[in-house]
Amino acid sequence: MIRAKTSRLASFTAALALALVAVLASPSSAAPSFAPAEEATIQPGVQMFTEGAQCTANFIFTDGASVYIGYAAHCAGTGAATDTNGCDAASLPLGTPVEIDGASRPGRLAYSSWATMQAVGETDADTCAYNDLALVEIDPADHGAVNPSVPHWGGPIGLNTDGVAAGSRVYSYGNSSLRQGITLLSPKTGLSLGTTGGGWTHPLYTVSPGIPGDSGSAFLDAEGRALGVLSTLSVAPTPLSNNVSDLSRGLDYMHANTDLDAVDLVDGTEAFDGDQLPLGLGLHR
């Protein structure tokens, strides 16, 4: 009798263990499924609008369930265009609706480096000046319209974590409405001027330079890795150069100071090809 009870208990314990393994192995919600690049309406380079401010999306991010599209924190700023210190510049609150071209519903502002730095009392001058990352959560109804590839160039193929040397090639895709919808002017390539600001920023030149409305757009390094987010236009000491906020540092800051620690960059589905001419003609050097 004791032997029979022991056998039934062992069977029950084994069944419970198998059930627990099955529960732990099953995701709590379905991972996002991305659209083919040629069919997607939401991807890096689309325009985003926050209470009149216009910016260009950079990369796609996910925690395995929610999907986010990146832009610059200053795009949600409420002060003057010269307010670039994220530790004291005013900005819209989290939860603010953000219109995304190609989406059927607005997204919502889910992360702002400016708001986070102010909340934690950040005092490092370089971090305050150059940490310029925001994430907008895409409505689940639009997940099937998303593709993470950078138009024209392809990629990203991972995250740049070590900066770029002066003279190295960089790639971007700006989509300001000031280009009047001429998409041939959107792909850009140029040269890095190095890494400054304690590793937080990468000044660079592109042909043509970023213009208002390009803010937030993605930059790739010579290997097709995600480098950063277009942040500001410089007037000195290198006129008409742009400053790109370092994405790796921006994500590390978000992970360390918010509950979005599981959110990371999504690689593109299209192979990176940096040998194309910047004009979208399908030609090669």
> What is the count of structural domains for the chain?
1
DSSP codes joined into one string, 232-280: EE--SSSTT-EEEEEHHHHHHHHHHHSS-TT-EE---SSPP-TTB-SSS
284 assigned to some structural domain? no
**pTM for this model (two decimals):** 0.84
Q: Tens of pLDDT along 228-254?
A: 999 976 544 555 678 999 999 999 999
d(CA 145, CA 151): 15
Q: Return the pLDDT at 206.
A: 82
Strand partners, 283: none
Q: Return the pLDDT at 187.
A: 87
Secondary structure (3-state) at 128: helix
40 assigned to some structural domain? no
DSSP conformation class of 135: E
223 assigned to some structural domain? yes
91 assigned to some structural domain? yes
Strands 201-207 vs 53-56: parallel, antiparallel or unpaired: unpaired
From 32, 113, 115, select the one nearest 68 (Cα to Cα): 32
Q: Return the pLDDT at 212.
A: 57
253 assigned to some structural domain? yes
84 assigned to some structural domain? yes
Residues of the chain with pLDDT below 70 are: 1-31, 175-186, 208-213, 233-240, 278-285
152 assigned to some structural domain? yes
20 assigned to some structural domain? no
Q: Return the pLDDT at 79.
A: 85
**Other Cβ atoms within 10 Å of 273 Cβ, number:** 13
Q: Return the pLDDT at 23.
A: 36
CATH number at residue 241: 2.40.10.120
**Domain assignment of residue 171, given as a range:** 47-265
